[in-house]
Amino acid sequence: MALRRPGALMRAVVQRVSQASVSVGGAVVGEIGAGVLVLICAMRGDGVAEADKMAGKVARLRIFRDAAGRMNRSLADTGGAALVVSQFTLAADMRSGNRPGFSAAAEPDEGARLYQRFAEALAGADVPVAMGQFGADMAVALVNDGPVTIWIEV
């Protein structure tokens, strides 16, 4: 396993949705009703521990309304699902110029492995999981609920 580079953190953007789907070549490969869309990016130096920690954070993230209308419930509390989509562009480095650099993203083989591990860990937390296709040109459709969008790094 590669040494963890300071500042390298697995990243996710989590959006609360009333529905979401992902298509490849015009065919739907994953879809959910109410729950979350998770755009996930493994960074260089990330490993199984980060994937598992991120899955736990997402599963327990309290962004769903309770009876009083406050964001106080998790996916487990609501029975919601997760649509997990790989998103290496979350590694974008914009410190110099206007063209993003992606060298902080995990290598493709490692990224694919950690993407799969994250999805498996999320499913292991009793969250129904649908997935995109790693490395594919995907079309993601969603109805953002709220909107609620959360950035997480672990």
Q: Is 149 a catalytic residue?
A: no
Look at residues 147, 130, 149 and name the one whose alpha carbon lies nearest to residue 138: 130
Q: Is 15 a catalytic residue?
A: no
Look at residues 20, 12, 1 and name the one whose alpha carbon lies nearest to residue 138: 20
Element (H, E) at 20: strand 11-24
Catalytic residue among 19, 64, 78, 88: 88
CA 112/CA 99 separation, integer angstroms: 24
Q: Transcribe 68-110 into DSSP letters.
A: TS-EEE-HHHHT-EEEEEE-GGGG-B-SSSSS-B-TTBPPHHH
Q: Is 87 a catalytic residue?
A: yes
Rounded to 10 degrees, the C-alpha dihedral 103/129/127/56 comes to: -10
Residues, the chain: 154
Catalytic residue among 64, 87, 118, 134: 87
Contact in structure between 145 and 18 (CB atoms under 8 Å):
yes
- Give the residue numbers annotated as catalytic, written as ranges: 87-89
